[in-house]
Chain A
Amino acid sequence: MDLDYTPEDLEFRRAARAWLAANVPTEPRPAEVQAGAAFDKAWQRRLYDGGWAGVNWPKEYGGLGLNGVRTLIWWEECERARAPGYERFTIALTHAGPTIITRGTEEHKAAYLENILKGETIWCQGFSEPGAGSDLAALKTRGEIDGDYLVVNGQKTWTSGAATAEFQELLIRTEPGSERHKGLTWIICDMSTPGITVQPISTMMGESDINATFYDNVRIPLKNVVGEVGGGWSVAMSTLAFERGNTFLRDQISMAGKVERAIELARKTVTADGNRAIEDKEIARKLADLKADAMGLRAMAIMNVSNIDRKGQPGPEGSMVKLLVSQVNKQLMEVVADLSGQPFLDYDGTRHSNEWTFDHMWSWVLTIAGGATEIQKEIIADRVLNLPRSR
């Protein structure tokens, strides 16, 4: 047990820090959908050209194959440099790509993986439906086999990035009359296929980068199926451990810095009573409490990468991280709203007009998307605690 870095780890940190210092974009990510996607592609391409794309993808698929500790270092350095996050490449890099690596054919791997790392293709996720969100297995969008094609009809929703994505990981019901987890198929859908309509959904943040996606006789080649026709549920779940280990690592690491920025804000904000917000003991102690929480989240990140490096998979902490990170974040945003007073409401419908206000609203996205808080508790109760099943 130790908190030490090897000389090689330190050299890696030095190299990452130097590269990020020279390459992190100075301009903020544009709020507008198309410009935002272009920014994400340019950043991913820069990572690729610099040799930093796919930090935890295996080397044989073009990634860096970093172990847990190096991945942690990478995200710490990204946080320090305020480097862009995955943004529109989240699905490609943390879900679709790893699923293809785990379950795809050689043809799939050759066709899709390198283009993701090069920043050429954005992927979106076609899982949730109006009647199947937390209860994903209730999904109804259907695919019928017609020769060498699956013909898809139905509707997906909450499709982040659908308007700019080249591809979609699509989960559909291909066995008529099948129920729940059976009869589903995971297929790669080219978003330029005729019959797909993307309709932006307006959100409380004012930005509209999530969408409803409609499928009207969309013909997708059967060769795009990953895994077996009818075996889609196991394909969709195959990267769960990967996600648990990695998706929230950046958020965990970021939280300490975010709390520190909120403390800075409290030091310089003059409240209605004429005092600095930090002089209010209630605000100061809430922030300190959240700083302690953030130290704990970082410790869980170290526990997480230790388990990955020692045992090949995250331990119980992997299932608990999303629950805790999103809750700590929401509490932090409540304190920031409290200490900011009326200027917190200065907001023109784009994130750059007031980053804290945007983040406040985004805190609900974090407690809902990717498995709502209530679903995270079900996962912990079922898989970690083995409590009697609720359903």
Chain B
Amino acid sequence: MDLIPTDDQQQIIDLAADFIINELPLSRLFDAHYDADKARLQRQSMAQLGWMGIGLAEDGGGVGMTVVEEAFILREIGRVIGPTAIIPAILAAKLAHEAGLNGLRDALLSGEGGAALAVAEAPLSATADGVNGTARIYNVQDAQAVLAIVGDEALLLDASAAGLQELPWLDAFTPVARRDLAGLSVLARVPAAATVHNGLLLTAAYLTGLAEGAVAMVQEYAGIRETFGRKIGAYQAVRHPIAEGAARSEHAKSLLYVAALALRDGRDDVALQLSSAKVVAHRAATRNADINIQLHGGIGITNDLPAHHFMKRALMLAPWFGGRKPLLDALLDEPLLTI
């Protein structure tokens, strides 16, 4: 029983943090717009680090680590509101490997291509030929496959002929399309549980990072900005919400680690831990995004600061692999195995 990363794991976390400070500093978002070429280069440099295949076996071209290390990386990416495209890419690479689609797998692992995630607008239905129903399709840039969860199946759909048109979209750094999935041919289909669990973990990890990044940003500002002759961090009206935000982050992080280990080890309470982890991390990300904007004052609502991107990203991730309400309805009945 030990929830502290080992030295080797800490090294992975530190290396990821180093890369992100250099390649994806929060300052890159200051008054910035989505740049497709930059986004492609980011994907490829993350792929070179092996991030698309961290948890994939070495004989599949992956790094051969586990979902725990995936969670570490996603948490670091979330801190700086990094690209979410890595989430469907990691999951699609595993599905492609499982289905023997080695070309697709290798394209995803190398960063040559990407994978998109379909999130249903209304219940989707699967037939022998494909999927019917309209979905938002996230991270369509260079997408070779679309990952869709339909009932108890996870499907990879062929995106090459999909004609995915980008929508005007609140989160300007995520290219999103919308279409009926009918007509996209099925590349692979497997039982959904493993993909959904893995997706919940990666999303919870990203959201935990968002929660921590938002607190770090406002914490720094509270130590610099002065009003009424004092640093604003000295006022309880400012420091108390930040303290609460830090507690929410720590709460989410601890639960994330337990959920990651439960998934890695196939523990009986994995569904309860993962659902709880996403619910708690999403709430932490949402509330911490709020205090980050609010306590910055007027500058918080401008494009001069990336504070609003924490809020927009948390909103965007809300329905991924199960929204709050279905997760709550499911976890209510999960048995407690710990006491």
Contact = CB atoms under 8 A, between A and B. Distances in A.
A302 B273 CA distance: 14
Interface in B48-64: none
Interface in A31-81: 69, 72, 76, 79-80
B119 to A, nearest CB: 21
Nearest to B68: A1
A237 interface: no
A1 B4 contact: yes
B28 interface: no
A303 B254 contact: yes
A285 B326 CA distance: 10
A377 B243 contact: yes
Contacts of A384: 243, 246
Interface stretch (A21-29, A306-314, A335-343): A306-314
Interface stretch (A165-173, A226-234, A256-264): A256-264
A11 interface: no
A374 B243 CA distance: 10
A111 interface: no
B234 interface: yes
A259 B329 CA distance: 15
Q: Which secondary structure characterizes the binding site on chain A?
A: helix
Interface string A355-386: 00000000000000000001011101100111
B257 A292 contact: no
A387 B336 CA distance: 39
Contact of B233 (A263, A289, A292, A388): A388
Contacts of A3: 1, 258, 261-262, 265, 267
B127 to A, nearest CB: 32
Given A292-B275, A296-B276, A388 B257 contact: no
B211 to A, nearest CB: 12
Contacts of B329: 284-285, 288
A295 B339 CA distance: 11
B239 A390 contact: yes
B22 interface: no
B161 interface: no
A263 B243 CA distance: 30
Interface string B265-283: 1010000110111011001
B3 A320 contact: no
B242 interface: yes
Interface residues of B, number: 52
Nearest to B9: A1
Nearest to B1: A69
Contacts of B325: 285
Contact of A387 (B233, B253, B283): B233
Contacts of A79: 339
B1 A302 contact: yes
Given A285-B328, A324-B251, A306 B4 contact: yes
A388 B252 CA distance: 25
Given A9-B1, A69-B1, A76 B339 contact: yes
Contacts of B251: 293, 296-297, 299-300, 320, 324
B255 interface: yes
A140 interface: no
B68 to A, nearest CB: 6
B338 A291 contact: no
Contacts of B4: 1, 303, 306-307, 310-311
Contacts of B254: 296, 299-300, 302-303, 317
B332 interface: yes
Contacts of B262: 3
A376 B239 CA distance: 12
**B contact patch SS:** helix
A249 interface: no
B247 interface: yes
B223 A387 contact: yes
Given A300-B254, A303-B254, A310-B4, A253 B339 contact: yes
A4 interface: yes
A387 B234 contact: yes
B244 interface: yes
B35 interface: no
B276 A292 contact: yes
A2 interface: yes
B3 A303 contact: yes
B339 A257 contact: yes
A14 to B, nearest CB: 16
Nearest to A380: B243
Contacts of A287: 332
B246 A309 contact: no
A219 interface: no
A5 B1 contact: yes
A44 B313 CA distance: 53
A288 B243 contact: no
A388 B250 contact: no
Contact of B6 (A1, A291, A390): A1
A17 B251 CA distance: 29
Residue from the set A3, A287, A377, A386 with the largest chain B CB neighbour count within 10 Å: A3
A374 B280 CA distance: 22
A284 B280 CA distance: 16
B242 A302 contact: no
B6 A374 contact: no
Contacts of B265: 2-4
A351 interface: no
A390 B336 contact: no
Contacts of B331: 288, 291-292
Nearest to A260: B336
Interface in B1-41: 1-6, 9
Given A378-B236, A378-B240, A390-B235, 15 more contacts: A1-B68, A2-B1, A3-B265, A76-B338, A80-B339, A256-B338, A295-B258, A296-B254, A299-B251, A300-B254, A306-B4, A311-B4, A380-B243, A385-B219, A388-B234
Interface of A: 1-5, 9, 69, 72, 76, 79-80, 253, 256-257, 260, 263, 284-285, 287-289, 291-293, 295-300, 302-303, 305-307, 309-311, 316-317, 320, 323-324, 374, 376-378, 380-381, 384-390
Ordered nearest first, which 3 A-B pairs have the shortest CB separation?
A292-B276, A387-B233, A288-B328
18 contacts: A3-B258, A5-B1, A80-B339, A289-B283, A292-B275, A292-B279, A293-B280, A295-B277, A298-B338, A299-B257, A299-B258, A302-B3, A320-B250, A374-B240, A385-B219, A385-B239, A385-B242, A390-B239
